[in-house]
Structure 1
Amino acid sequence: MTTPEEVLAFWLDEVGPEGWYKSDDGLDDTIRSRFTPVYEQATEGGLSLWLTYPSGTLAYLVVTDQFPRNMFREDSRAYDMDRFARAAAKVSIARGWDLKIDPPARQFFYLPLMHSENLSDQDRCVRLFAERMPEATANLLHARAHREVIRDFGRFPHRNAALGRNSGPKEQSFLDEGGYGATVRRLQAAA
């Protein structure tokens, strides 16, 4: 059985900040081969004890929010555990557990909110980065960009294909004109 410590050693130490947001087939394969069993445990509700302390919750959030995005890239399964990660993040933030984890790992308490297609979650994510990780300017920029996309569309158009959703004309135009990346560049230029 995989432990929270093994998840955190892999994600925080082996992969580290330089690998967290890269699209890397090798990393995706490694995560699938090493962590599919613990991910499956999470989908069956088998990691509830992890949610009883800060570092265990951090590991849970990595397994349910980060790993699926690598394991199931361009597949609807990448989003299957989002609601569980979001619920765990909200409870742990209310308990102040995010503040017991040092940056940059603290961001993984806020990313389930950034991945939400709910505007109030997006607003909260921006506030949390601004208040609790003010030095993380890149994270705050991306939180603002995610929020802007949700403000404009009420959902993330780049997920439409994977989720079997039709893109409206405005969404398709957004995707054709650079999508999320164009939003980030526009916000950077405005700063």
Structure 2
Amino acid sequence: MSKDANNDISRDPAEDHAAALAVVQFWLGPSVDGPEPAETRRAFWYHGGEAVDMAIRERFEHRLRQALAGELDHWAHSAQGALALVILLDQFTRNIYRSTPQAYAGDPRALGVAERSVQSGLHRQLPVTGRIFLYHPFHHAESLADQDRAVALVDAIRHDVDADWHDYLDRRVAGFARHRDIVARFGRFPHRNPILGRVSTPEEATYLAGDHESFGQGGRATQTG
């Protein structure tokens, strides 16, 4: 019997469900309850500091390593599992490995999960904040087409939710558009250049010397980018 077959037999669906749910509940918290708790939760997501980074490392680094190795790919067959994978690969990488090349190690795999979830329609089963995080791999991609898609996907959520969410979504669309505009200008995110050992163009060097956005990856524990 092949190793893959053994892995298939050893999977416990109940354990997988519980593990994915733990990731999603930890990250989304009360943000699923409405736009006000979602707005409040942003402090945890983007300004949580070392305490949040450490909590993620202690609770989920082993799961992240599994996800990076492709050992949790089967999670992507459900909406919740796909979201958990994207959170691990696209968000927790940025907390655990902040300001290092490893912060971006999960991006290609996360983008694949997000793409398949959108193509299959699984994304529409998720709550508002879950959908927004599922779309983050497009939002983090150094591709203008993916950036445009991210903005469009978040904007489209308004058609599926009550009007109470619309102001919140307007702010998220504006934030996604700021990322898109950076990629439209430079073709990539210049703040990643020092981390990834890339040589900056003169225009990028001028940008980096100014009051630029680093999305938490030029220093410690602010926004993820």
Aligned pairs for 1:142-153 within 5 A: 142-153=175-186
Determine whether 1:177 maps to 2:210: yes
Among candidates 114, 118, 122, match of residue 89 of structure 1: 114
Partners of 2:118 and 2:134 lie apart in 1 by: 7
Determine whether 1:36 maps to 2:61: yes
Determine whether 1:8 maps to 2:33: no
Aligned pairs for 1:132-151 within 5 A: 132-133=157-158, 135=166, 136-151=169-184
| Letter aligned with residue 9 of structure 1 | Q
| Letter aligned with residue 12 of structure 1 | L
Partner of 2:6: none
- Gap runs ≥5 in structure 2: 1-14, 32-40, 160-165, 215-225
Identity of aligned residues (%): 34
Alpha carbons 2:147, 2:179 under 8 Å: kept:
yes
Alpha carbons 2:128, 2:157 under 8 Å: kept:
no
- Gap runs ≥5 in structure 1: 182-191
Partners of 1:148 and 1:180 lie apart in 2 by: 12
Deviates more, 1:128-137 or 1:47-56: 128-137
| Letter aligned with residue 165 of structure 1 | R
Q: CA deviation at 1:104?
A: 1.8
Aligned pairs for 1:5-154 within 5 A: 5-13=21-29, 16-22=41-47, 24-133=49-158, 135=166, 136-154=169-187
Q: TM-score, normalised by structure 1?
A: 0.89
Q: TM-score, normalised by structure 2?
A: 0.76
Local SS of the residue matching 1:104: helix
- Greater gyration radius: 2
Alpha carbons 1:158, 1:175 under 8 Å: kept:
yes
Partners of 1:92 and 1:101 lie apart in 2 by: 11
Q: CA deviation at 1:173?
A: 1.2
Partner of 2:220: none
Alpha carbons 1:145, 1:180 under 8 Å: kept:
no
Instruction: Name the Cα RMSD after superposition.
Output: 1.8
1:78-102 Cα offsets, whole Å, 9 max, x none, are 0001000001001101111111111
| Letter aligned with residue 7 of structure 1 | V
Deviates more, 1:92-101 or 1:80-89: 92-101
| Letter aligned with residue 3 of structure 1 | A
| Letter aligned with residue 201 of structure 2 | G
Partners of 1:67 and 1:121 lie apart in 2 by: 21
1:38-78 Cα offsets, whole Å, 9 max, x none, are 00101111102211110111111100101001111110100
1:160-188 Cα offsets, whole Å, 9 max, x none, are 1110112222112112221238xxxxxxx
Partners of 2:181 and 2:48 lie apart in 1 by: 23
Partners of 1:125 and 1:156 lie apart in 2 by: 15
